[in-house]
Amino acid sequence: MSLVLSPPKLVLLAVHLAIHADIESLAFLASRHATVLRKDLVLRVLLTYLPETVSSSDYLSFLEELSTGEFIDREAENIDHSIVENLSDEDAARKVRKLHLLPLARKDITVETDDDPLTLFLLHRAHRVDEEAGLLNQLPELLGPFIQYAPGIRVWMVSTLLPLLRRNYEYYPTESVPYTLAEFQSLPDGAAVDALLSQTGAQPKDYNLIGRDLRGMLVPWLHDDARWKPLDKTESTEEGIYSAGWERFLEWLLSKSSSSWRVAVAAVEQWGGAVDVDLGEHDVVWLSEQQQQHLDRRYARGIMACAYLVPEASVEALEGAHQMLRKVMDLLGQDDMMSLREGTDTLSAVAYLEGDGILNHKNTAFMRDDLLKDSNPLTKPSRKSTHLLHGLILSAFILTQCGLPCTIKRAGDLAFIQDERDQKAEVIQLIHTLAENAPKNDETYWVKRRKEVLWLRDWGIAPTPEGKVMGIFAKVKPEVIETEILRALLSSTRYSLARSLYEDATDKPLSPQIVQETVVAAALNAYDNASNPSRARGGLKKCDEIINAFPQTIHKSVPERRRIDSLLKATHALSEYRLVLRQGEPFSPIVLRVHSDPVSIIGKVLEQNPKSYTRIHDLLDVGTNMVRAGLVDRNNKVAAATAQAEENGQQIDAATQRITAMCIEAALKEDDFETAYSYIVNRLSGGVDASMGSTVKVDDDWSWRAALQAGQYIRSARTVRPTHLGNASGNPDIRHLEQRIDCLATALRIAPPSQLQEILKTFRRCEEQLDSAIKEDAAREEDLGTAEHSVMPGGFDAAPAAVRSHRSSGERQAHPSAAVASKAGDDAPMSLFDLSRATARAATRNFTALSTLQQSAGGGAAAAAAAAPAPGSSGSAPDGEWDGHDDHPRARKRDQLREAAMGTLTSGVGWLIGAPAPAPNQSQAPRND
């Protein structure tokens, strides 16, 4: 049974059906009463009362019928009219007025709809489904069938719905952003981009999805014209349009490059820019050509800015930055650039930089600030800027690969600021690092690295007519680089390669003078770093090898080489001894070089090595080599120059005398008086005589002290016994006293005047001891002789006195000490006489010294002539002491030496102590030989 309903009741019934989601009954009712239930009214009823949880598929067909106005034939449904049949028309109209149906249009919707009711409904319904039910994922099903019907919906779906839907439901469902469609659409462009990319690259495991996010969320979001703004001609831009969201993305990319460069590299590698977009099923939406060009140019600038901001100095990071550069060149349509590893092999010239002032210190700021501004010349997409960046990346790559980590920004600082000191320090550090990391037996390593270092100076670009070059080491002179490389080759023991490059090469990169100075410095550096003083090991061996590595440049006649050879000899000689200069620190070679008094080290050797004084020849050679090495008196340039020459006698003599004195003192400390006495007699006396004839006076404050110390030595039970006596007295005490007097006599001759008084006192005491010992020895011999005669058979004891006297005289001649003792009984001891007798005794052992004494006495041969004996003594003189010649009797040897010594002391040192000149002996007839 059919019921005729008034329009208010039809509306109320339609609302009732919508509330209960009875779409089929509502469609039947709308098809039967189209004049009352108009299209816009039905859509408002659905918008207001159809639950948002109802699936879009349940009412899509009904919406399509409404859009076309053609309803399919439906059979009469059993519609429940009870809700309205008991209402009066007035009540129904009153209820209709209270329905408050929602309007189709929303104020926050900016989509171009042409006020089409269905389009407005779909957009409004989509927002309500999202806001009330949170069923954002159902909206594509709702809106998809109407894209062709309403083109505005297509753009809105692509630019708003699709990015948010993918962000929260497809890509990161567990990390969704808390925005509805309306809230997301109302966000500022920068905030919207931040929301879309908040999880992009947040986890390393998602780095491979960065490109997906950019092409699936960012680029679709940019397809809304509301994201673009035209700019006035006065604003600085190349395209005349601007997108705040795109700029925010570029800032995001730069921040990732600074904090997590792998994200930026992955983004650039995986995404090709604005043309690389995923619109899903809606790929018929395009950006304008102007927008496309703007995005590409800004993206290229942003990529170059990212490359400058890569903070890590590693091969991987630099290769990532170079991949960025290659993407820029691809966007600009430039020829592809070879990889970094290929670039290090070819080291080709950096193109498009000749004669340009882009390497300016002002550009340093552009690497850090205003990277995205159009005024920045470093990030401007052009051939010049891309090749400049290539040069910087390749430079940083070479440095990093060589072991000296370098960022692109650091390489830029070196190239732009052009500070010579900074560049030189970097070069030196680089080459030192190469030396540390160099393989032991690979010369190709050094050949390649040398080429790379030289390329870093000029980037393979020929100098300008003004001589300017481009590179990160442009301010460093080639000679400085080559010198450092030579040093590194020498420190790495690559001698043959160094010789082939710097000595044998036709085009020598360094002058012989620089090579010589460098090699000498390297040799001394190896010496200074040595820990073992042996020339066959360690640093000294290396020093020896270095100094001999360039035979043509540093031949044996070069003073520096001779000096180093002497230094090596001296140091190696010390390796044979135990030597500790400080407690717990064994001797190291550098101590010898820096020691203020290197000769004193020999004193330490004598202290720490028993019997080492017996190797005086070796120690003297050490001292001589110290002088020739320039270690002695190195602060005196004149002395140093003398030491480098062959005839450096002054310093060598001084070192020889000092070392001899050290050996004498060491022998005395070890109670080896015989060796000390031997050194004094054979070395100090001879050295004194030689120094007398020298034109240069050597200040010798050591020899006389050593001689005095030997003269003061008192024989004890620990004293080393002599191995042979020769012609000396058989009495060890007398012999020792005689030797002491010899030592004191030497001390008198070489001591300064201020020290003579002390030495004379010691001399006087020693001579008194000798006289006393001689008398005691003579008495013992006399007693022994008497006892022997008394027991002899045949009455030999009754021999005439004259015979005994003759025999005694003969015995005294055989035993000089006894003769001296006998003579001592006739001549009372006096100071000058005693001194002259001791000096004469020393002269008998050294006739050269004796002749000197005679000449200095002023009498020449006359002073050496013998005086006639006293009248009363001729009868008792033995036959051997007199030898008549030309009727003139010859004086005894003892008296002859006494007179010579007396004359010497009188004319030489007698004046110092106030001794009067001796009167001539009238009883002695002069010889007339």
Q: What is the mean pLDDT of residues 283-312?
A: 92
Q: How far apart are CA 827 and CA 870, in angstroms?
A: 12
* Residue 685, CB-side half-sphere exposure with 13 Å CA sphere: 23
- How confident is the model over 902-911, as pLDDT tens digits? 444 444 444 4
Say yes or no to pLDDT of 789 above 80: no
Say yes or no to pLDDT of 782 above 80: yes
Give the percent of the chain with pLDDT over 90.
Answer: 57
pLDDT at 442: 87
In the chain, DSSP finds a helix count (H) and a strand count (E) of 44, 4
Q: How far apart are CA 432 and CA 487, in angstroms?
A: 9
pLDDT at 856: 39
pLDDT confidence band for 4 (50 / 70 / 90)? confident
Give the percent of the chain with pLDDT over 70.
Answer: 79
- Least confident interval from 255-259, 341-345, 729-733: 729-733
Say yes or no to pLDDT of 509 above 50: yes
pLDDT at 569: 94
User: What amino acid is encoded at 630 in this protein?
Assistant: G
Query: Three-class SS string for 185-222?
Result: HHCCHHHHHHHHCCCCCCCHHHHHHHHHHHHHHHHHHC
Q: What is the mean pLDDT of residues 109-118?
A: 85
Q: How far apart are CA 534 and CA 753, in angstroms?
A: 44
Q: Please calculate the CA angle 181-184-190 and round it to the nearest 5 degrees.
A: 160
| Of 925 and 792, the one with more pLDDT | 792
pLDDT confidence band for 346 (50 / 70 / 90)? very high
By the 8 A CB rule, do 294 and 345 touch?
no
pTM of the model: 0.73
- How confident is the model over 682-718, as pLDDT tens digits? 988 755 555 444 444 557 889 999 999 999 999 888 8
By the 8 A CB rule, do 402 and 315 touch?
no
pLDDT confidence band for 73 (50 / 70 / 90)? confident
- How confident is the model over 450-469, as pLDDT tens digits? 999 999 999 999 888 888 88
pLDDT confidence band for 393 (50 / 70 / 90)? very high
Burial of 232 (0-12, 13-18, 19+ CB in 10 A): exposed
pLDDT confidence band for 342 (50 / 70 / 90)? very high
- How confident is the model over 557-595, as pLDDT tens digits? 899 999 999 999 999 999 999 999 877 778 889 999 998
Distances (CA, A) of 394 to 278, 315, 321, 548: 35, 10, 10, 39
Tokens of 726: 């020769």
By the 8 A CB rule, do 655 and 625 touch?
no
Q: How far apart are CA 904 and CA 893, in angstroms?
A: 16
- Least confident interval from 50-64, 685-699, 779-793: 685-699
In this structure, the number of other CB atoms found within 10 A of the CB of residue 334 comes to 15
| Of 258 and 86, the one with more pLDDT | 258
Instruction: Give the closest residue to 249 by CA, choosing from 192, 325, 307, 172.
Output: 192
DSSP states along 74-103: -PPP----HHHHTS-HHHHHHHHHTS-PPP
Tokens of 318: 């630099």
Q: What is the mean pLDDT of residues 210-230?
A: 94
pLDDT confidence band for 854 (50 / 70 / 90)? very low
Q: What is the mean pLDDT of residues 876-882?
A: 37
Q: What is the mean pLDDT of residues 176-194?
A: 94
- Tell me the longest C-alpha to C-alpha distance in the chain: 202
How far does the chain reach from its first CA to its final CA, in angstroms? Answer: 189
Give SS3 for 582: strand
By the 8 A CB rule, do 520 and 548 touch?
no
Q: What average pLDDT does the structure give for the chain?
A: 82
pLDDT at 637: 47
Say yes or no to pLDDT of 256 above 80: yes
Say yes or no to pLDDT of 88 above 70: yes
Say yes or no to pLDDT of 730 above 80: no
Q: What is the mean pLDDT of residues 535-545?
A: 92
pLDDT at 540: 92
Query: Three-class SS string for 635-695?
Result: CCHHHHHHHHCCCCHHHHHHHHHHHHHHHHHHHHHCCCHHHHHHHHHHHHHHHHHHHHCCC
Q: How far apart are CA 57 and CA 138, in angstroms?
A: 9
Instruction: Give the closest residue to 893 by CA, choosing from 855, 928, 859, 847.
Output: 847
Say yes or no to pLDDT of 257 above 80: yes
Q: How far apart are CA 504 and CA 501, in angstroms?
A: 6
pLDDT confidence band for 12 (50 / 70 / 90)? very high
| Of 356 and 715, the one with more pLDDT | 715
Tokens of 732: 């060890």
- How confident is the model over 415-452, as pLDDT tens digits? 999 999 999 999 999 999 999 999 988 899 999 999 99
Tokens of 34: 């189209």
585 beta partners? 582
pLDDT confidence band for 725 (50 / 70 / 90)? low
User: What amino acid is encoded at 321 in this protein?
Assistant: A
- DSSP conformational letter for 286: -
